[in-house]
Structure 1
Amino acid sequence: MFVCTRGDTMAVLFKNADITLYNKYYDLNSDTYKYQRTVIKGVNWQGKRNGIVSDKGLLLADSTLIFIDKLNNYVSPKRFAKLSDEDRTNYFTFTIGDKIVKCEVDFEITGTKPYRPADLENEFDDVIDIKSVNSLSDHFEVEGV
């Protein structure tokens, strides 16, 4: 694991990337899903390839594990969903299915071409969907594919 102790707290040790997180939320005013963009600096991004041998041969799958220090503007997914439009801009969360890009980007997902989630994936390398989130006392471990 890539964390180190500072006094009685832990911190991500090898900060090798910045990320852009896209939180999906339902907008009651427009009756549509929207995405809120948040940049998080100084995370540890680890890409890995998993292999399984089965009766069908070798199956390979890429996945990513991201270690992120806990930040004061994080809220739980349920709390994030209940925030007003005004308050939501001050917070972020990690929810299964949200998107993360490995780098700081200013691409806004609006839902219309050329600013759809699929366009994000076509425009940038290293775009993942969150598949699991492990909240530890001092940091998050976010896994995606």
Structure 2
Amino acid sequence: MSTYHSIHFHIVFSTKHRKPWIEEEWIEDFHSYIGGTIKGLGAIPLKVGGVADHVHLLVGCKTTHRPCDLVREIKKAATAWVHSEIGFMPFVWQDGYAIFSVSPDACSTVSRYIENQKEHHRKMTFLEELVEILKLAGIEFDPQYLE
């Protein structure tokens, strides 16, 4: 029998100290590059989006993908792209990330959520958003580690 799977993750991570380093002029190319990186890692970039201080990814994975390895390689490649293409050497990501499993029937909702990040963040900060997502997912957290 073949291996059948449906593994989807919503991954969120921010720039160091949530600095608004991702510029409007190159954000689209940056998100495209991240999508290409995800493909290069053998996963499926269902949606890539975000704003100046963080990214959201909806990723379809294989059974052989380890989320920690996937995120590490995406962050590493994205940082290298900003350094080489934009020339902004201070750019780095915050340590850690948030990851949530997504059922197949919820992928379209999560995709729309990611697509509407710009509008969403006119009303809410990244930290407020993260707390809301963590609470919705039933994840306990210590607020001191969100700073």
TM-score (norm 1): 0.37
More strand by share: 1
TM-score (norm 2): 0.37
Higher relative contact order (CA 8 A, sep 6+): 2
